[in-house]
Amino acid sequence: MPCAATVAAMSDNAPEVAPYGSSQNSDPTLKRVRTRHFARAKQNGIKITGLTSYECLSASIFDEAGIDFLLVGDSAGNTVFGYDTTIPVTVDELIPLTAAVVRSVSRALVIADMPFGSYENGPEHALDTAIRFMKETGCHAVKCEGGVRSSKQIKRIVRAGIPVMGHIGFTPQSEHGLGGHIIQGRGDEGEEQLLADAHAVQDAGAFAVVLEMVPSEIAGKVTAELSIPTISVGAGPNCDGQLLVWTDWAGFTQGRIPRFVKQYADLAGTLREAAQAYKADVESGVYPAPEHEYGA
């Protein structure tokens, strides 16, 4: 019965009730995706689906469509703020975007991405940032890049009761250290490093780990070794779930798109045509028509 096998459908028998009451999700049948559903999805061989999201309109559509988790990624640096990389993005920039996404969903798990410079100084620094995201946005989990090098930070955040998603393989915040957008995990040394990172993140208590730009075969080995789910961003079909930057996935991003992205729409083309048609209508006087006018 593959069509019934979704992360929400396999949640469990426990009804999802708000223990202290809730002004919003008062429907007791409404299922919220939790980190425990990630674990159970892996155990049951059910694939987990994620997209990035940065604002309320797309977030509510993705939530309605049943996307399991929304990552408010620091990819907002490229997709929202117009930076060349994710490196300049700040916590203050991501907080309002994350809060908007949280306000727009009722089912998806919302994960806030900890930007470069917000956790590297040590475990207490990382915890302070994670607490800011939890308190100021209402997000359900945070993500931070790095395996062995970030394991102390992950452990500290998890110990405070905040779920953490790890992120290893290609980590965009260290693109200069890695020497560019380079596939990770290749060769004996690369594989060894990736496995060490994966285990470090799992041992630190992360509930899932993103593998970015890793050969499918190596990602399969990591997935088989770990008990937590692996989420692929260009790491092939052997992972427990998939995640894409929504603007790439929807054909909104212009310019170079990574090889691993499948585009499911042509939003840029649709918007361009709509803008051209609107301009032509304004210039020719077709818009506004009588049905767009108010009477006196």
Nearest-angstrom CA–CA distance, 177 and 164: 24
CB of 1 vs ligand KIV, minimal distance in Å: 31
- Closest to ligand KIV by CB, 73 vs 146, is 73
In the bound complex, what is the minimum distance in angstroms from residue 17's beta carbon to ligand KIV?
Answer: 32
Applying CB under 6 A, the site for ligand KIV has a residue count of 12
Is 145 an annotated catalytic residue? no
Among 253, 8, 204, smallest CA distance to 107 is for: 8
Using CB under 6 A as the binding rule, whether residue 71 contacts ligand KIV is answered as yes
34: amino acid identity, one letter? R
Q: Does 113 bind ligand KIV (CB under 6 A)?
A: yes
Among 75, 118, 151, 232, binds ligand KIV (CB under 6 A): 75
User: DSSP character for 132?
Assistant: H
Q: Which is nearer to ligand KIV, 11 or 153 (CB)?
A: 153
245 binds ligand KIV (CB under 6 A): yes
Nearest of 239, 208, 222, 238 to residue 36 by alpha carbon: 208
The tally of CA atoms less than 13 A away on the side-chain side of residue 55 is: 7
Q: Looking at 69, 243, 249, 253, which residue binds ligand KIV (CB under 6 A)?
A: 243
Does 218 bind ligand KIV (CB under 6 A)? Our answer is no
Nearest alpha carbon to residue 230 among 109, 191, 220? 220
Q: Hey, which residues does 165 pair with through a beta bridge?
A: 143, 208
> Shortest Cβ distance from residue 113 to ligand KIV (Å)?
5
**Which 8-state DSSP code applies to residue 249?**
H
Tokens describing residue 194: 């990736």
Other Cβ atoms within 10 Å of 170 Cβ, number = 23
**Residue 128 beta carbon to ligand KIV: minimum distance, rounded to whole angstroms:** 20
Q: How far is the CB of 34 from ligand KIV (least distance, A)?
A: 20
What DSSP character marks residue 4?
A: G
Which positions from 42 through 61 interact with ligand KIV, judged by CB under 6 A?
A: 52
The answer to whether the beta carbons of residues 108 and 68 sit under 8 Å apart is: yes
Indicate which residue of 93, 212, 273, 293 is catalytic.
212
Q: Is 233 in the site for ligand KIV (CB under 6 A)?
A: yes
When binding is defined by CB under 6 A, the residue of 99, 142, 209, 210 that contacts ligand KIV is 210
Stretch in the footprint of ligand KIV (CB under 6 A) among 26-34, 68-76, 119-127, 248-256: 68-76
- Applying the rule CB under 6 A, the residues between 253 and 282 that interact with ligand KIV are none
Q: Provide the 10 A C-beta neighbour count for residue 294.
A: 4
Nearer to ligand KIV, 116 or 127 (CB): 116
The answer to whether residues 229 and 41 touch, using CB atoms and an 8 Å cutoff, is yes
284, burial (CB in 10 Å: exposed 0-12, middle 13-18, buried 19+): exposed
* 209 touches ligand KIV by CB under 6 A: no
Residues that bind ligand KIV (CB under 6 A): 52, 71, 73-75, 113, 167, 210, 212, 233, 243, 245
> Which residues are catalytically annotated?
212
